A and B are shown apart, each in its own frame.
Chain A
């Protein structure tokens, strides 16, 4: 049927051709010339553009067919215009010939693209600058190891992060952190180096190496992800200046529930300054007692960190994540003294469905912790056996009020029962802190943050600090979790 119509139309075209007057022929010819000229100018423009984008040289006439090919099916459709028969036939050929998409010399050669590199490599540096009414910033106010530690400038977190797939079975991650001490010497630490399984059955996932334990929300985050320039007080008191991280292994299980529920169990050696409340070998974490040289006597001496987290979509625009965590292990103040830490955390985020660049949003994060610490007796230091109890919370609200601008407010409280070493112990005693801040992200890869801290502590009364923080990130950094 189609064919017959085609022939009839063709026949009519041939038949009427003779009858066309010279005017019409001339019009057609003019149109044809116009079309030719337009095609030529387009081709020239394409060639010019290509030469520009390649810095000249590489582009040859060979490029043109390669470029023209993908466009050809639609060119055919274009030309079809009025006469149906031609349109029909052209369309069927267009449908059967897939556009050619093989590599052509016209395509630029990319030096490095994230999809073809074996891993993400990034370097992230955070610089702090500011002033505090306290001359001894790092001794009483800012006890976190990545906090600003002195008046003027400090650089407490420059990290090299590497991550990628090791093979079909594992993913690997390493984070090497460099910090400038107040005397400007450089301290290097292997903050994290671990592999994570990617193909275990039964919804399990194994992590092994040195890594931040998944206790609560902020402990597992790197300083450049923090919403404030400093570590929350209660996390500092429970996990020490560097957070809770140690060599160990962690298994997690994604429950087959309709909403997100994940259970974690981490097992760590639990020693050193990064296991502050546990077998810390420095006096800081031992509350004045000289540390025992405790070795592992059995599995009971390891540090265990269980956690359960669930998440709910409250509405289309609101997500809630809640979690409960604990950490159990021996500490170094006696032969059989132990520590228990319990924590709950919530994170709520609102973001409308037409947010641009991720703004606006409101995020509210809370963590509350309770620590029970059996301190052994140290007669040489004049310290009795006692049970220290510490508690505290922080609550922070972030408001991304316009693209790339975030206003934050954090309130904190930490306290505990009284202990024999309290007068000399910067990690104990009642303390409150209120911190408003404002962050501008010129892009996803840099930020400028201004924060004010109003600090109150029973040891130092009231202190004021203002900190400016600059961050830059180079390279490809892995995506962050919610």
Chain B
């Protein structure tokens, strides 16, 4: 009898220890899912931190990852539209099919910027839902972790307390960090920076900065000499001294423009691990972004 009880306890423990298999589409979502799931989940991330998230290859190995998944966490803002649907078709996993509890979409609740009023590709490759790079604003991260926690609790109620505790702890640390990041960038309110691609409107809005000029003439269209000449002229007349470039973008183009304008080129990344020293997670990434940008802006007149 006692042995049976022991066996049942062991069995229950075994079941409880079966970790939730979670797949995140991009490393920022992955980092947040890790904060909530902790050691209760096994996490894999499809896009690499240095990769262009619009053009991830729909590799067959991803089909396998999605086939084994208990949960999929995606941005839901069409950033993954070029590769995720084909992978989901191949994965044939009803647990993470659209509408299933295991398909955690982080977009609901996000206030999207730059939602096009009409869809017109002569304006470049626009996303119908609006700019998809919303996690560059830490206040949006607040919403996303809540969505992720709610999703995980639905799938794994046994660990609900852990997820809730992780959510509460991360949220309070995030709030303190937001205040710190804002303080770092506060002296530069209203200042402008140049970005290669329009990745940073959420970041700029949160920190009172302006990101209005891009090296790409239109989203997804490579820089042209005529457009760069225009950017250079504007940088000179408006005294803009910072250009930010992500790992998947052509740094040489930015450096050419910088040489002409005396601007500083900053390595930026929207994903933890995209630039050196940011592998530890979302906080470390935002620490890096706010600090390097503040330093660069301070060095400029």
Q: Is the CB of A311 within 8 A of B121?
A: no
Near B by CB (< 8 A), chain A positions 307-350 give 309, 311-313, 316, 319, 321, 349
CB of B14 closer than 8 Å to a CB of A: no
Bound form: Cα–Cα A356–B223 in Å = 13
Does the CB pair A354–B85 fall under 8 Å? no
- In the complex the two chains form, what is the Cα distance from A478 to B116 in whole Å? 21
CB-defined contacts of B111 to chain A, threshold 8 Å: 70, 99, 101
A309 to B64, CA, bound (A): 13
| Stretch of A105-113, A273-281, A408-416, A455-463 on the interface side | A105-113
Q: Tell me if B146 and A98 are in contact (CB < 8 A).
A: yes
Question: Does A187 count as interface, using CB distance less than 8 angstroms?
Answer: no
The answer on a CB contact under 8 Å between B110 and A101 is: yes
A300-B234 Cα distance, complex, nearest whole Å: 73
B118 contacts A254, C-beta separation under 8 Å: no
How many Å lie between the Cα of A7 and that of B234 in the bound state?
A: 51
Q: Which of A196-204, A231-239, A387-395 contacts B (4 or more CB under 8 A)?
A: A196-204
Query: B52's contact among A91, A107, A357, A442, by CB below 8 Å, is which?
Result: A357
B117 at the interface (CB under 8 A from A): yes
Contacts of B220 in A (CB 8 A): 357, 443-444
A416 to B146, alpha carbons, bound, how many Å?
65
B81 at the interface (CB under 8 A from A): yes
Number of residues on chain A facing chain B (CB within 8 A): 68
A108 touches B115 (CB 8 A): yes
Q: Using A110-B117, A113-B128, A479-B82 as known contacts, say yes or no to A354 and B89 having CB atoms under 8 A apart.
A: no
Chain B binder among A21-29, A72-80, A175-183: A72-80
Instruction: Across the interface, name the chain A residue whose C-beta is closest to B67.
Output: A254
- Please tell me if the beta carbons of B48 and A482 are within 8 angstroms of each other in the complex: no
Assess the B115–A259 pair: CB atoms within 8 A: no
Which A residues from 368 to 425 make CB contacts under 8 A with B?
Answer: 403-404
Chain B window 63-97, contacts with chain A (Cβ cutoff 8 Å), 1 for yes, 0 for no: 11001000000000010011111100111101001
Interface string of B48-70 (1 = CB under 8 A from A): 10111011011111011001000
A198 touches B55 (CB 8 A): no
Are A203 and B67 also in contact (CB < 8 A) when A95-B171, A110-B128, A358-B52 are? Answer: yes
Q: How far is A313 from B82 in the complex, measured between Cα atoms in Å?
A: 21
> Is A168 interfacial (CB 8 A cutoff)?
yes
CB-nearest residue of chain A to B121: A445
A356 touching B182 in the complex, CB below 8 Å, given contacts A110-B117, A113-B128, A321-B60? no
Counting CB contacts under 8 A, is B119 at the interface?
Answer: yes
Specify which of A77, A349, A445 is in contact with B179 (CB 8 Å cutoff).
Answer: A77
State whether A74 touches B182 (Cβ < 8 A). Answer: yes
Across the interface, name the chain B residue whose C-beta is closest to A474.
B121
B222, A101: Cβ atoms closer than 8 Å: no
- Contact with A403, one of B57, B109, B250 (Cβ below 8 angstroms): B250
A184 at the interface (CB under 8 A from B): no
With contact pairs A98-B146, A110-B128, A258-B64 given, residues A443 and B97 touching in the complex (Cβ less than 8 Å)? no
The yes or no answer to A2 lying at the interface (CB within 8 A) is no
CA gap between A112 and B126 in the complex, in Å: 13
Q: Which of A110, A115, A444 contacts B115 (CB 8 A)?
A: A110
A198's partner among B83, B92, B116, B247 (CB-CB below 8 A) is: B92
Tell me, in angstroms, the Cα distance from A477 to B277 when the chains sit together.
39
Q: Which of A349, A351, A358, A479 gathers most chain B CB within 10 Å?
A: A479
Q: B83 contacts which of A114, A200, A321, A479 (Cβ < 8 Å)?
A: A479
Cβ–Cβ contact B179 & A80, under 8 A = yes
- In Å, the complex CA distance between A113 and B94 comes to 25
Measured between beta carbons, the chain A residues less than 8 angstroms from B85 are: 478-479
A197–B91 alpha-carbon span in the complex (Å): 12
A201 to B, closest residue via Cβ: B94
Cα-based distance from A53 to B55 in the complex (angstroms): 29
B residues apposed to A, CB below 8 Å? 48, 50-52, 54-55, 57-61, 63-64, 67, 78, 81-86, 89-92, 94, 97-99, 109-111, 115-119, 121, 124-125, 128-129, 139, 142-143, 146, 171-172, 175-176, 178-179, 182, 186, 206, 220-222, 247-250
Can you list 9 pairs linking A and B with CB atoms under 8 Å apart? A262-B60, A311-B60, A353-B51, A354-B248, A355-B248, A356-B248, A357-B55, A443-B221, A480-B86
